[in-house]
Structure 1
């Protein structure tokens, strides 16, 4: 039996200051192929290359990954400043409408870091340009030095709403996560449920209220050590199950229309 196909929304890079590429992290591919038990397909996130209808047709779900460029504040009605950092408006042009289409169709997606922020923006929310500048907030950015193991190490707790979606999924109300982000949710979209918070009040886990499909998204990076970390593994297992359910539904519809 073929595996469900997960479109991994990539990012633009330039190698050696010369060669433009579209790429996604190997950790994301490993998490999809491993704990999710799906087939990873890296998507060039640029409307010059792909369209929303094509992506919806060919993929059973989507992973909205992290990335250094931030969502352009014009997407939520604000002017860009130096604090907002670099942007990737081509990715915005794919990710934002794709999230909305998935919510409407019930097609599963999983948002991580920038992807978490894209989900909030797609649903009408806004973002802070820099969490660490806010009174009472911690520095959630990646440590600038050290090995990958040190940079992706578990650094703070996330507390889930009692009896909420994440609490039920994890079987625990509090988990340890890594943290590698600068921006964060300012105002949640009208249909965004904030289901998990860091100890400083930063939103860390969300989903879309009353959406017919899987919409869980997290501010941390569960793709790191996904096969062995119990929190990450549960998230990718659940996402893979949602993709398999979607794929089976599509196969059933195809058989009925044949």
Structure 2
């Protein structure tokens, strides 16, 4: 009993520590600049809901937010399609060079993303896609495939082979078995990959700076930079813009968190 109370107490402290930045973000986004800088009051004397309207209009979030949604949905969809098939092949199909492919995926993950920007930019130039949504999404997909394929490989490896054998006896093709039998059982793993890669794609900004010349193609992080200035800092508006930018991710994670835990604990990272 004492151990359980101690464990729950420790977890409660960890939860409070994790939630504190979010609470501080929301409180600061509703304060005036004077309240935020002086720090005399924990809660705003009068919530400044207009901060959110200012952040939306002055940060041009109406342009950048849809861009981030398009990039994230497109990239995650592509990653799920490719990594699910690659993970299934690595888990179920014996082919020559399988170990080398797995090692290659691990090796690619070690390379820092900025280190490959020059090569990616030169490739986009040769393809004429330096200022293209499609080119940006394709790079995001390629960056997410290695870790996602290994996650799905671990998940598929834990599924019983009896299901595939029974489907084969019923005359089902390999592709039909994969689509109708295996993928539905892999739902927790797919959602785990979607959340992990969704967060990664949503927060990506450096590659966009390298690839895009057209400001209207930039992701939502570009809107946040409108409120970062050494001369006239507007931290309360920046906090409101940040709250708007993280809201879609938080909502998605709240609905998918159970599936994420199940997908990882089912062997996704083994």
Q: Given the two structures, how large is their TM-score scaled by the length of structure 2?
A: 0.24
Task: Give the structure with the larger helix fraction.
Answer: 2
Larger Rg: 2
Structure scoring higher RCO (CA < 8 A, sep ≥ 6) equals 2
Q: Given the two structures, how large is their TM-score scaled by the length of structure 1?
A: 0.25
Task: Give the structure with the larger strand fraction.
Answer: 1
